[in-house]
Amino acid sequence: MTKKWQIYEINQEKQQKIEELVNKYNINQLLATILVNRNMTNPEELKVFLNPTRNDFHDPFLMPDMKTAIDRIMKAIDKKEKIIIYGDYDADGITSITVLKSFLEDIGVSADHYIPNRLEEGYGLNIPAVEDIAKKNYDLMITVDCGISAIEEIAYANTLGIETIITDHHEVAEELPKAIAIVDAKRKDNEYPCRDLAGVGVVFKLIQALAIQLNLPEESYLKYLDIVCVGTISDIVPLKDENRVITKLGLKLVKQTKNIGLKSLLISAGYKTIDSTTISFGVAPRINACGRMGNAEKALQLFLSKEQNEVAELTRELNQFNYIRQDTEKHIYEEAVKYIEGNELQKKNTIVVAGENWHHGVIGIVASKITERYFKPSILLSYEGDLAKGSGRSIPGFDLHEALMKCTDTIEKFGGHSMAIGITLKKDKLEQFSQKIEEVANQEHIEEIIPIIQIDSKVELSNISKEMVESLKELEPFGEGNKTPIFVIKNLKIDSIRALSEGKHLKMTLKENNTVISAIGFNLGNLADEYRIGDKIDVVGILEINTFNGVESLQINVKDVMKSI
């Protein structure tokens, strides 16, 4: 697939800013170039970005309804009311419950929790759960990472005598639930500087405010930054502003965590270094696998446990859930690809495919992979009686949620946002829906959308050194809103080329004069048939230090290749 390479232009003004950063902060030219290209030149922002401290957290009482929420919690503490925390089954929800429950226990307050079963109850509050909570005589319910859209459920809780504090980070509709307090920085009346906190980030602000109210030392809430960091990175929120402070400081705590569950999970993940990649690909999938397979409680138990033998057993179980998730995902993916290519659906502008007994917990991941493979919006559905339920993922430039708004006559219900949706439709409406969504895509000329690779800078192979690559770690943690830098290196001669893993991946050595570097291209194995030894190519990729048998070497993690002009 043809991709557009888009590289930042360096004009005279930018070059001047680059030189200023090099001199003022004693950083190298490449690092300064990346910062300038990413508009990171404001002295105050840059200070927080490069060297955040505990003094860079915003005042929690700037958040909407925070004072009201704290006053209500203080009342519950004084009157020894029964408190329950209502969370979500993903990594953000699990870490949110962990942090709030642990903090309350630290100050001598007992709080129970409720996690809905993903497969049986779905996301968020539901009426049967509220009824169950009422029967157990809870006075105060605190939602974490959910609740902002639960208008009916909160109204029902009110009639049953349960008062609710909502802490959430999702988008807000015109109507808000009738809760005691709604702590969400996406409210229209919000004045809090950082709108993009994860659910666990909002909980962190709640315990910070509680600590301030109770005149507790900073350590009482800062010690949870390891867990807050895990939830924040896992939820793929922009790692800017306060999220940057949380994750940069939090990763330092993760490396020396006193949470024996987290420590055990890190060891089992097998990563040599602890950074945002370790959390994103080693820790988060194991936590999320529990929720996806309907066992979120196990992940929570792991983080709350103080008993080593229990932690070892729970870690084993989390790994097992992850293996099952991976196997289930692989099975659905292979079935979907076989159907798509057997029916030539990849030639259409949208891909809609359904199957029998496709697991709801992983169907969204598979939709993401299908979209990535074909660069087309995809919707995967699983048949359940006369219904088809599933998930969809989109491509930049095509608002999938808006597109579905034009197909409502073929849909039972749907929700989500521009890039990801959940959907239910009648089985006998599937063909009609497929045609309708394709028509919408055609009308919007989706075929004209070309995937763009945003390149941070051009570099010369002879200038790449271990020190230069190491310096890029100053930009860590990487994630949404702060992507790993991508570079273009031109006019490299292919010294060797082959496919690995049954043709799946690409392995090359590349040469410029007397300088040679290794290159690995994951899922680019097909390029081994398109290029030959001696070809001159331009390469776009990430610069890495690869360690093999104790020996370190420079490596390009290739994202795209084209012949040199």
In the chain, CATH 3.90.1640.30 covers 60-316
Name the residue type at position 82: K
> CA torsion sign, 393 to 395 to 399 to 400?
negative
In the chain, CATH 2.40.50.460 covers 4-51+453-563
The residues facing 223 across adjacent strands are none
Nearest Cα to Cα of residue 105 among 85, 79, 132: 85
Q: Give per-residue pLDDT as tens, 15-64.
A: 999 999 999 888 899 999 999 999 988 888 898 899 999 999 999 999 99
CA-CA distance, 140 to 72, in Å (whole number)?
9
In this predicted structure, what is the pLDDT of residue 1?
67
- Burial class (CB within 10 angstroms; exposed 0-12, middle 13-18, buried 19+) of 231: buried
Q: Give per-residue pLDDT as tens, 250-273.
A: 999 999 999 999 999 999 999 888
Rounded to 10 degrees, the C-alpha dihedral 392/395/396/398 comes to -70
Cβ-based neighbours of 92, under 8 Å, separated by 6 or more: 145, 198, 199, 200, 231, 232, 234, 235
Fold of 60-316: inorganic pyrophosphatase (n-terminal core) (3.90.1640)
Q: What is this structure's pTM?
A: 0.91
The strand pair at 487-500 and 505-512 is best described as antiparallel
CATH for the 343-448 domain, from 3.10.310.70, 3.30.420.310, 3.10.310.30, 3.30.70.120: 3.10.310.30
Q: Give per-residue pLDDT as tens, 480-527.
A: 889 999 999 999 999 999 999 889 999 999 999 989 999 999 989 999
Fold of 4-51+453-563: OB fold (Dihydrolipoamide Acetyltransferase, E2P) (2.40.50)
Give the helix/strand (H/E) hosting 500: strand 487-500
Token representation of residue 460? 């010369």
- Is the separation of the CB atoms in 303 and 259 below 8 Å? yes
Q: Give per-residue pLDDT as tens, 127-158.
A: 999 999 999 999 999 999 999 989 999 999 99
Give the helix/strand (H/E) hosting 466: helix 466-471
Instruction: Give me the helix-helix angle, 241-254 and 225-234, nearest 10°.
Output: 120
Cβ-based neighbours of 546, under 8 Å, separated by 6 or more: 518, 520, 552, 553, 554, 555
